[in-house]
Amino acid sequence: MNAFKRFFLTMATITSKFIREAQKLPPLKMFLRAFSSAPQMELLPIRKELGKFEGGSVDLEMDEQTGIAVMTLNNPRRLNSMTGKMMVDMSDRITQLEQWKKGKGLILMGIGGNFCSGGDLTFVRKALHYGAEMATYQHHTLTRLLNLPLISVALLQGHTLGGGAELSTACDFRVMSPTAKVGFVQIKMGLTTGWGATTRLVHLLGRQKALGLLCSAKVLSAEEAKSEGLVDSVMMYGLSQEDEFTECKKWLVSNYCRHDSDLIQATKSSVVYSDLNRDLDTSLRNEREVFAQYWGGPAQKAALEANVKHNK
């Protein structure tokens, strides 16, 4: 065989292997991986700069048995307000979650009975020259959080203010302690939202309610937040912080995480994809492609075999 033929055969083998590998991934997953990859090159200088603003951490525990992860904001002396270093930490924790094949759900919470009282004002005062860069970084991180192939819930306890309220809108759901408070107080701080909450709130509540919350800067009780549609569930009175966490986990698991992790991830990714692609044809095509992968598969056959009923 001459050199040209050998070269041609090698290239053909590599190309067909690549195509076969690519075909194993649905177009949706390929798209989402590209979309949600770890910080892009242009964010690296911002990451380096933000990392210099020390204090606190964002921690992650992933339970392989249950498929439930807990991401904890940890800056309790300042009510879990976010420093630059915590923003970098959060991005790294999200990278871990993006790669978690067995994951089903995520609880985002703060340590010590407060969710988050916004940007850490010690950091904010030193970073007044750096607003656009911080917002770019946070938009990227929180879009990745919102688009994780997991069902996410923010557990709102104590104070959830400013940037804290913004963080909560980057989860799929919000569960609130009956004594907690939540408010988009940015306008009182001379700001508009820096971490993407205006876009997400309009999407979540519609423009009139979003405008109301943002322009009034009203700090809402749990009942008020529920009636606005911002919060999905309010826990009962009298639970300890730990019991509220346990209740929140039960709420997440019993409502949304009882089924197979692969199907949960496919469903969430499909919702994200159709949300990002409002074009009906593209969205329906994607939905068909995802559906076709599961139709006739082992999970469907097992369910048919088990004669599953849906009345309890």
Ligand X SMILES: CC[C@@H](C(=O)O)C(=O)SCCNC(=O)CCNC(=O)[C@H](O)C(C)(C)COP(=O)(O)OP(=O)(O)OC[C@H]1O[C@@H](n2cnc3c(N)ncnc32)[C@H](O)[C@@H]1OP(=O)(O)O
Q: Kindly list the residues in this chain that would bind ligand X in the complex (CB under 6 A).
A: 78-79, 81, 117-122, 124, 159, 161-163, 166, 185-186, 189, 191, 193-195
Instruction: Give the integer Cα–Cα distance in Å for 116 and 135.
Output: 17
Contact between 170 and 150 under an 8 Å Cβ cutoff? The reply is no
- Shortest Cβ 113–ligand X spacing (Å): 11
Identity of the residue, 50 or 161, whose beta carbon is nearer to ligand X in the bound complex: 161
- Shortest Cβ 224–ligand X spacing (Å): 17
Identity of the residue, 79 or 109, whose beta carbon is nearer to ligand X in the bound complex: 79
Return the DSSP state at 182: E
Give the per-residue SS3 of 19-86.
HHHHHHCCHHHHHHHHHCCCCCHHHHHHHHHHCCCCCCEEEEEEECCCCEEEEEEECHHHCCCECHHH
Identity of the residue, 224 or 287, whose beta carbon is nearer to ligand X in the bound complex: 224
Backbone dihedral angles phi then psi of residue 168, each to the nearest 5 degrees? -65, -25
User: Which residue has 């009034």 as its token pair?
Assistant: 216
Instruction: Give the integer Cα–Cα distance in Å for 92 and 31.
Output: 20
- Shortest Cβ 59–ligand X spacing (Å): 19
Instruction: Give the integer Cα–Cα distance in Å for 195 and 135.
Output: 6
- Shortest Cβ 86–ligand X spacing (Å): 11
Rg over CA atoms, the chain: 22
Identity of the residue, 149 or 194, whose beta carbon is nearer to ligand X in the bound complex: 194
- Shortest Cβ 90–ligand X spacing (Å): 14
Identity of the residue, 94 or 161, whose beta carbon is nearer to ligand X in the bound complex: 161
